[in-house]
Amino acid sequence: MKEQIKNIVEINDNYKSRLFSFVIQALILISVVTFSIETIPDLKPQTRYILKSIEVFCVIVFTIEYVLRIYVAENKKNFIFSFYGIIDFLAILPFYMSFGVDLRSLRALRFLRLFRILKLVRYNRAIDHFTKAMKIAKEEILLFLFITLILIYFSAVGIYYFENEAQPEHFASVFDSLWWAIITLTTVGYGDVYPITMGGRVFTFCILMIGLGIVAIPTGIISSALTKSIEKKQE
């Protein structure tokens, strides 16, 4: 019986497994839609009752799925603390935590229901390729993040010395300057904080040029890793 359940619950090339995965994916999407509808103000009590019933049904199915996956797992502890195990747990946690919890806390608990959409990762081959690509390029990505953090700090220190005297309200410390450094290096440029001194503007131009390169680097790393992942799959 355990083997039969495992062939259905885990992704296999058979009718029952495909049907099971389709039902779970459909319920995930339905759950996300109902979550969005619940945010509409002035809903009728009947509508809220229907949405609540759908939520209860989805949680029951997700709970059964979670229990079955633990049951068929060869190493139950590894599954529970794996990425998919944690996502499956977080998908049902808000519902059970809502019992006996102050109603004012429910808004935060509802937000956790968004973790259900991550359950789709298990059934999407494209996302699976992306996950493998991240593993292939993890060293390059970590190096990139480390260099980016250094550049952000360097930018914050630089703009602080250029703009502190001219704009003490915006650049009171290096910590205040970090916001400017982040939005400038990422080339977002909200315009809420900007330099007014000549030195600060020249420094900003240099940081923007660096930022344009920083935006392109992770794209190249991930696309190269995705190509490798697809080639391995084809082989």
- The domains of the chain are located at 2-123, 138-234
At the topology level, CATH places domain 2-123 in: Four Helix Bundle (Hemerythrin (Met), subunit A) (1.20.120)
Q: CATH for 138-234?
A: 1.10.287.70
Rounded distance between C-alpha atoms, residue 130 and residue 136, angstroms:
10
Percentage, residues of the chain above pLDDT 70: 79
Q: Assign 104 a pLDDT band (cuts: 50, 70, 90).
A: very low
Rounded distance between C-alpha atoms, residue 30 and residue 34, angstroms:
6
Mean of per-residue pLDDT scores for the chain = 80
Q: For residue 103, what pLDDT is reported?
A: 43
53/142: higher pLDDT: 53
Per-residue pLDDT reduced to its tens digit, 20-79? 888 888 888 898 888 888 878 888 889 989 988 998 898 899 999 899 989 988 888 888
User: In 98-137, which ranges are continuous DSSP H helix?
Assistant: 106-111, 125-136
Buried b (16+ CB within 10 A) or exposed e, 190-218: eeebbbeeeebeebbeebeebbeebeeee
Q: What is the pTM of this model?
A: 0.59
